[in-house]
Amino acid sequence: MAKKENELAEKSILPLKYVDAVEDIFHAILAIALLIIGIGAFYFSIERLITTAPFFPNGMIQGVNDILFIVIILEILRTVISRFTDGVYQLDKFLIIGVIAAVRHILTVGASLTLQTGKSDEAFDRAIYEMGLNAIIVVALVFAIFLSKSAHRNK
């Protein structure tokens, strides 16, 4: 295995240590950008939470939605940072981000169904289909996480 890597390194136009250094710098810039985006999202979430009227239920629902969005940003940041330590992107982290995003969408659609009155039957049916599809996505992603974890245990 090491012999193949050495052969690839010899055939490369640029030395791999320079490519790795540039890649690390780029990932560091992405991590800083994600951190700034997360801080900005937190600031605007707090501002929106304070100014949304009425606070119950609209402000609370928007607050939960914003918090889950920030969690997604932080999980992506954690994935980029773990790239420095492990040298690879980990599948489990992306699956967890997908679960959080799908659950966030389920909560948002469910809250909109609860709050809106006078919704047409077509809009109601579409919202129910969205929630059902996202629930299937969550189950599939959790199953994928289970398979990934069991594959790592068997190594």
Query: So what's the pLDDT on residue 2?
Result: 53
Structural domain spans, the chain = 12-88, 90-149
In the numeric block, the tokens 């996505």 are attached to 137
Q: For the whole model, what pTM was predicted?
A: 0.81
Residue in 71, 147, 123 with CA at minimum distance from that of residue 102: 71
CB of 91 within 8 A of CB of 151? no
Helix residue ranges, H only, the chain: 2-11, 16-51, 60-86, 91-115, 121-153
Mean pLDDT check: name the lowest of 107-116, 123-132, 141-150: 107-116
Asked whether the predicted pLDDT for residue 9 surpasses 90, the reply is: no
